Structure 1
Amino acid sequence: MKVTIKLDSMLTDQVKTSATNENSSVEDYITNVLSNHVKTGNFEQRQFVGKQIDSNKIDIKSHLVMMDGIYYRFDLINEKAPTADTKYTVVGNNGNVLYLKK
């Protein structure tokens, strides 16, 4: 669904700054903010979907990724192994498995 909203210039600047601080696009940032305020889905969906993590948080040997101090199993979307010095976005989950995309 596409939605058009009008923001005043001050709020627009605040949203752009917040998105930049989270290494996110404005669209992804707004989607993440809305997702966090609409309490649906499970804990992982509410807390992690849309967040970015550095590849150094991914342990390929144990096949675990650390998110906010908790280890989760993971699956990479369109990749066999994580790339060093790369940010990944959590795009979904199934139970305690997080789906990561470059």
Structure 2
Amino acid sequence: MEDMATFLLRMPQALKRKLEQRAKQENRSVNSLLQTMIENELESLKQIDTVTSLEHRQFIGQVISSKQIDQENGLVQVNGIFYRYLIESNQNFDSTKSYIVIEANGNILTLRPVVL
């Protein structure tokens, strides 16, 4: 048997209730549910790392000025290539802000406003 570790995890009460409800639906303990969720997430990240797209490798973390964004056509220009874009949490475009690329999914980049 593998050595087990214990750590304290803080979360909102609402999230805890959701986890408890899901665990109950699956006839499992919250601990077992969380362990499986973490294992699945780490495995999926491992798979993503082995088949990472050019966009993901080159653009994640790159800061984009508002001048590179064509709001009218829904495009952003990154390294000379135009991509569709989404702004995190469906925020409105703000021409006074710069944005950072936080996700690349096919030809769609997700941007987050840079907070200074």
In the alignment, which residue of structure 2 is the partner of 1:33? none
2:102 corresponds, among 84, 91, 94, to: 91
In the alignment, which residue of structure 1 is the partner of 2:79? 68
Matches within 5 A, 1:1-102: 41-102=52-113
Note if contact 1:49-1:92 (Cα within 8 Å) is conserved in structure 2. yes
Count of matched residue pairs: 65
Q: Runs (4+) of structure 1 moved beyond 6 Å?
A: none
1:56 Cα deviation after fit: 1.2
Q: Which has the higher strand share?
A: 1
When residues 86 and 39 of structure 1 are mapped into structure 2, their CA distance, relative to the original with a 3 A threshold, is farther
Gaps of 5+ in 1: 1-37
What is the letter of the counterpart of residue 73 of structure 2?
S
- Note the alpha carbon deviations across 1:69-91, whole angstroms, 9 max, x for none: 00000000024421112110000
User: TM-score normalised to the size of structure 2?
Assistant: 0.52
Distance in 1 between residues matched to 2:99 and 2:86, nearest whole Å: 11
Q: Which has the higher helix share?
A: 2
CA RMSD of aligned residues (A): 1.7
Gaps of 5+ in 2: 1-48
| Sequence identity (%) | 34
When residues 69 and 39 of structure 1 are mapped into structure 2, their CA distance, relative to the original with a 3 A threshold, is farther
